[in-house]
Amino acid sequence: MPSFANPFSGNIDRKIGKTELIQAIRVDIASELEAIYLYDAHSHATDDPLAKKVLADIRDEEVEHVGELMTLMRYLDPSVADLMTEGEGEVKEMMEELGIKDATIHDVDASVGSLLDE
């Protein structure tokens, strides 16, 4: 939720080091996730087609921001990147055990084939 009571609560009167920057980015990521949750809830809560479309569009932009921040986090702290890759591998193993197709792997041949059919 926004915190307007103190408009300077986020200001820091000095430059921050890498460790603090990483901590700040974690808060930024959490803020983006909260924004996604709110825009999504508001989009689903209205029947006004324009409001629904605008709110859903903003929600999707916030998802892009999460991607940007996660990429920045991986750059700043490679150990996070390693842990995330490890977690990703664990879930992919579970998917394989359950016979679930990995939707993040795009079938290049199918894409080329569909273009040739046109």
For the chain, how are helix, strand and coil distributed in percent, rounded to 5?
A: 75, 0, 25
For helices 18-45 and 49-76, give the axis angle rounded to 10 degrees: 160
Nearer to Fe ion, 29 or 92 (CB): 29
Nearer to Fe ion, 9 or 79 (CB): 9
Nearer to Fe ion, 60 or 93 (CB): 60
**Least Cβ distance, residue 54 to Fe ion (angstroms):** 15
**Least Cβ distance, residue 65 to Fe ion (angstroms):** 4
Residues that bind Fe ion (CB under 5 A): 32, 62, 65
**Least Cβ distance, residue 61 to Fe ion (angstroms):** 7
93-110 in b/e burial notation, b at 16+ Cβ within 10 A? eeeeeeeeeeeeeeeeee
